[in-house]
Amino acid sequence: MAMWAVFDVDGTLLPRTSMERQFWRYLLRRRRLPSCNVIHFMLKGLSGALSGSLDSLVKSNKSYVRDMAVDEVGLLAADCYRLRIAPRLSPQGKEDVESLRRQGYKILIISGAPDFLAELLRSDYAPDLLICSRLEVKSGRYTGRLSSLHPYGERKKSILLGLAEKEALDFRRSVVFADHPSDISHLALFGRPVAVNPKGKLWREARRRGWTIVRW
């Protein structure tokens, strides 16, 4: 069984913001976000509010790239990553990734960010495994729908449990870093849970359970 170091991205390796938030701002400032996609995105969010599932629906809502060419989005994402995301990555997070790698841990990055953003993290972290939201593509364009399970909340736990046998993930000897109350269920799977910049419920739960708390 292998030791794994599992890292969340938004709010963790990327403190106080998210990859998609930065990408949204980038697209809006450059007027590269089609107005019809903005409307579609907002309507899906409203649908989520009415059904009581706003948080989950908005986070898994990738309709803002609907009908956009994969190559075009890839170029925009790479430019945004260089200008707005990479400079905001936590230096301490990078140090911890490399330190754990030297100690013999395999590196897993798990994020709800879309693949066209999350895959760019490979250049900074060279993870052994990267799990993110995979988007459906038809005829070279994004449909705005997901083609894989969205890694958020309890779904992160389900994904990790599914990987335990396939990737020989030894939870007892592995370490996990995350920042959000929705991460509590998968943090609890690990022998070494680390709460990064925790607030509210996660801070209280980390204190109660004696989990490590760090500030990045």
- By CB atoms closer than 10 A (0-12, 13-18, 19+), residue 31 is exposed
State the pTM of this model.
Answer: 0.90
Q: Which amino acid is at 62?
A: K
CATH number of the CATH domain containing 41:
3.40.50.1000
Task: Specify the DSSP element, H or E, that contains 41.
Answer: helix 35-51
Per-residue confidence of the chain (216 residues) as pLDDT tens digits?
Answer: 899 999 999 999 999 999 999 999 999 999 888 766 665 566 565 555 545 554 555 567 888 899 999 999 999 999 999 999 999 999 999 999 999 999 999 999 999 999 999 999 999 999 999 999 999 999 999 998 999 888 998 999 999 999 988 999 999 999 999 999 999 999 999 999 999 999 999 999 999 999 999 999
The overall longest dimension of the chain from CA atoms, in Å, is 51
Range of the domain at 70: 4-214
Domains identified in the chain, total number: 1
Contact (CB, 8 A) for 32 and 25: no
Q: Is the dihedral of CA 104, 106, 109, 115 positive or negative?
A: positive
